[in-house]
Amino acid sequence: MFRNGLRYLGLSLLILSAASSLTTLCASLYREQDAAIFFAVMSIILMLIGTFLRRVRTTEALTQQLSISFLALIFLIAIPLGALPYLFIEGTSGIDALFESTSGFTTCGMTAFLDVESFNKSVLFWRSTTEWLGGMGLITIFLLLLKGRALEAFAEARGMNRDVSVNLSTLMKQMFLFYLAVTSIGFLSLLFLGGLNLFDALNHAMTAISTGGFSTKNLGVLYFEQSTAFNQTAISLILTTMSILGMTSFILLTGLLFRRKIQTAISSIYKLDLDELKVMFPTILIGTVLLLIPFVMRLGLPIFTALRQAVFHTVTALSGTGYNAMDLSQWTIGEKLTIFIISIMGGSAWSGAGAIKLTRIYSLLTTLPKLSKYFSQSKRITIDKKTKEDLTYIAIFLVILVIGVFALYPFLSNHSFIDILFQVGGALGNTGPQILDVSQIHLLGKTFFIILMLFGYFEVLPIIILTRFIKTSIQSNKT
């Protein structure tokens, strides 16, 4: 079993090697000699190890359980590797480097660094690349390079049906091309319409489509809001559009784009069809109204500015992008709760978004009338298997959320309960709107946040399966 794992670990290392090569180019362009050498060496080492591991021969069948375990294992190895540039180039602490790398690959977007503008450009580009890979890039590229039963097993692990009427390799290729195309269009739009420079435009395009939310500025998107040198309306519109695309199923979007080739893909592969959209757009509308009223009444913002900000924060919260275009610490409890509830709902399955996911919210909403009859009239009800699984996951998510709040409270006791709840929800949901200064939190507190981000990204189940897989493998080797 471990031979199979080594082969796919090698594949993931080759992908990270390619990312390191691009970062080497960035460091060279900005004349960051030490960083360029570091990323070049890192790229070569990863390429050599990855190539060696890919040559491991095995005839073992790849099951869905093994696939889920390997997907989790790949990210658990990628995270320490992703932390190395922070540790050795910027001289950060080990826990802060791991925190930032975890936040990047899980697309959470929380940061442990107060002054990212002092970082090398290449490190900031690497930081954005981890989110771009975490959003859909790494998994899509990974599946793109697989063939046969291995591809089917990994696709099943990500929620696809085995019996599909479309070539999976073709679908993966089209998904990756779509992801790359939207990133490119967003980059050019931010560059020419938003007024951002080339570096800022590229990085924000990468972190928007991945629904990650990292910024090259200490203040985040708020930096562009405070300067008349930028077109704030265009920036908000572009980032909002990219966040909506980022939280919508890439299979659905790809199916619409390549309709002639995979017009049956949506019904045969995308199990959740359009139900998620029935939740997404009403949620955006309700959230916009709930924020628009206090923005106008309390803050006195002009109606157009208030509407732009309300839509922007609602969409980026739901998608998990988590950009801050305002000082969230100055918001009222009601406004924070609005964003908190929206952010833990999440986006579509097979998108860059995290949190509970809209398909599970849809299951909850459609089941509520049945539950109401059960409790009020004691009538027997039937719930299908998928709905039971969705409701179980929601319950587990909320339990972990409560545990996380109480576990982190001793490290954040000087903050309000709502702020702690807000930040724990952001970590577990990988949504990342940030209120608290994570840099000042105790090492154990940061470790708890890292665990929450991993649980949220892997949706708990793969981590349990990975643990069982490792335990079983060790026991079988002993015998």
End-to-end CA distance of the chain: 15
Q: How far apart are CA 124 and CA 176, in angstroms?
A: 23
Query: Which residue type sits at 438?
Result: V
- Classify residue 381 by its DSSP letter: -
Average of per-residue pLDDT across 217-229:
90
pTM over 0.95, yes/no: no
Rg (CA), the chain: 22
- Residue 451: closest CA among 413, 408, 414, 416: 408
- Higher-confidence residue of 343 and 463: namely 343
Q: Percent of the chain having pLDDT more than 90?
A: 50
Q: Confidence class of residue 265 from pLDDT cuts 50, 70 and 90?
A: very low
**Which stretches of 248-302 are DSSP H helices?**
250-257, 259-262, 265-268, 275-297
Tell me: pLDDT of 146 over 70.
no
244-258: string of b/e by CB count within 10 Å (b at 16+)?
bbbbbbbbbbbbeeb
145 — phi, psi (to 5°)? -90, -5
How many residues appear in the chain? 479
Around Cβ 159, how many Cβ atoms within 10 Å?
A: 15
- Give the span between the Cα atoms of 8 and 78, in whole angstroms: 12
CA-CA distance, 375 to 99, in Å (whole number)? 44
Structure tokens at 181: 């195309």
- pLDDT for 99 equals 96
Q: Predicted confidence band at 159 (pLDDT cuts at 50, 70, 90)? A: very low
- Summarised one tens digit per residue, pLDDT across range 345-365 is 988 877 778 888 888 899 889
123-147: average pLDDT? 77
113 pLDDT above the threshold of 60:
yes
Structural tokens at position 47: 């390429």
- Round to whole Å and give the CA distance between 289 and 267: 33
Q: What is the pLDDT of residues 174-189, one digit of tens each?
A: 778 888 999 999 999 9
Cα–Cα distance measured from residue 175 to residue 258, given in angstroms and rounded to the nearest whole number: 10
* Structure-token match 């359009």, residue found: 274
Widest Cα–Cα separation across the chain: 73
How far, in whole angstroms, is CA 217 from its chain's centroid? 20
| Contact of 427 with 455, CB cutoff 8 Å | no
Q: What is the C-alpha to C-alpha distance for residues 398 and 387, in angstroms, rounded to an integer?
A: 17
